[in-house]
Amino acid sequence: MSKSYDIGVIAGDGTGPEVIRESIKVLKAAAQRFGFSLNFVEYDFGGTRYLKTGEVLPESAVGELRKFKALLLGAIGHPDVKPGILEKGILLRLRFELDMYINLRPVKLFPGVDCPLKDKTPADIDFVVVRENTEGLYAGAGGFFKKGTPDEVAVQESINTRKGVERCIRYAFEYCKKRNIGNKLTLCGKTNVLTYAFDLWERAFYEVAKEYPTIKADYAHVDAITMWFVKNPEWFDVIVTDNMFGDIITDLGAMIQGGMGIAAGGNINPEGTSMFEPIGGSAPKYTGKNIINPLAAICAGGLLLDYLGEAEAGKTIESAVMHITGERLKSLAAGNMGFSTSEVGDMVANCLLGVLHIY
C-alpha cells in the first residue's frame, strides 16, 4: 500500500488562503508523481475567526493539531486586530506548546530572481539558518516595575537553557552533515557583549563540534554577519543562532534571496509536530485579487515533504520552482509576475506532472 499522510492546514488571513490553495495544488501533483497520498484537514484559525468569536484558538486546538506530524500555515494577521494578539495567540503559542524548537530558513537565490546585491548569482547565495525557536528573548521572561510612573522599569530577559541550546546546535550539526555542501556550521552570537547567554552557546557549540570532525565549526558576531550577508554571502553554509538574532538575520536573508515572495520556513519539532509557512505576511491589500506570488507557500510545501521523509518529492518541488523563476516569471512581485497566482501554481504543478518539462 502506498504511504498516506494527514496534513493540518491553517490557511489563515489575507492572501493566506490564496497561496495555500496553490501550495496544496502542487503538493497533490507531487503526491501523484511520487506515489503517495495526502489528506488535508483545514482549520479556520486566524483574524477573521477571532473577530467573529473573540477566541484566538479554541480550547481543543492545540491537542488536535498535535495529532498531525505536519502542518501547513498560510499567513496570520488582520488589519482590524491589534498587532501581537494573533502572533502570540497562534504562531508563538503553537511553537511553544508543540515544542517546535527549530526554525529552519533556507536562503537560496533562485535562477532569474532579482537580487539586490550587485554581482551576486545563485552560486553565491545558498545557505540555511537554523534559529532556536522556543527560548531566548521570546520566552516572555521579565516584567514591569512601577509601570506607568516616571520610575517605570521594564525588564525582558533572554532565557537560554543548556538543554534548549544544545538540542538546537545538535540539530544544526546534523543538518549540515546531511546537507553535505559546504560542511561548515557558523555560530552567530555576540560573545563580546552577551557574556552569559553566548558563553553558554559557545561552550555547547564547541563541545558538540567534537562529535562532528568533518564539519568546520566557525563563529561570527551577529553584527558582522549582517555585513557579510550583504558583502560575502558565499561564505555561509549553515548558521545556527538564538531566537532573536535568528528572527532578524532571516529577514535580511529573505531580502538577499529576492524577497518575501520566495522565502519559506519550517517550525520544526524533529520528534513531534512541525509547521511550514511562507514567511511573508497576510498582505491585506492584495487579498482576493489572484495576484500574490504563491512560490513561498509552494516552497514551504517542499520543506514539509522533506520533513515527512519524501525528500525526492520535496527536492523536485524546488527544481520546478527554480524552473519557473528562471524561465517564466517576469518578477516575484505581486501583480508583476506576468501570471496570476493560480497560473503560477498551475505551472509548478504541471512541471511536476511532466506536462511542462523541467529537465
User: What dihedral angle (degrees, nearest 10) is formed by the CA atoms of 217, 219, 224, 225?
Assistant: 40
Nearer to Mn ion, 266 or 314 (CB): 266
Of 2-10, 52-60, 85-93, 216-224: span binding ligand IPM (CB under 6 A):
85-93
Q: How far is the CB of 70 from ligand IPM (least distance, A)?
A: 17
Asked if 141 contacts 159 with a C-beta cutoff of 8 angstroms, the reply is yes
Q: How far is the CB of 92 from ligand IPM (least distance, A)?
A: 6
- Binding partner of 87, given ligand IPM, Mn ion, none, CB within 5-8 angstroms per partner class: ligand IPM
Under the binding rule (CB under 6 A), the answer on residue 247 touching ligand IPM is yes
Asked if 188 contacts 249 with a C-beta cutoff of 8 angstroms, the reply is yes
Q: How far is the CB of 293 from ligand IPM (least distance, A)?
A: 18
Residues 19, 61, 65, 91: which binds ligand IPM (CB under 6 A)?
91
Nearer to ligand IPM, 91 or 295 (CB): 91
Under the binding rule (CB under 6 A), the answer on residue 87 touching ligand IPM is yes
Grid coordinates given for 299: 516552497
Nearer to ligand IPM, 91 or 308 (CB): 91
Nearer to ligand IPM, 97 or 247 (CB): 247
Q: Which residue is nearest to ligand IPM (CB)?
A: 87
Site for ligand IPM in 156-195 (CB under 6 A): none
Nearer to Mn ion, 124 or 247 (CB): 247
With cell 537560496, the residue in question is 108
Q: How far is the CB of 91 from ligand IPM (least distance, A)?
A: 5
> How many chain residues bind ligand IPM (CB under 6 A)?
4
- Binding partner of 91, given Mn ion, ligand IPM, none, CB within 5-8 angstroms per partner class: ligand IPM
Nearer to Mn ion, 26 or 268 (CB): 268
Q: How far is the CB of 104 from ligand IPM (least distance, A)?
A: 11
Q: How far is the CB of 246 from Mn ion (least distance, A)?
A: 8
Residues at the interface with ligand IPM (CB under 6 A): 87, 91-92, 247
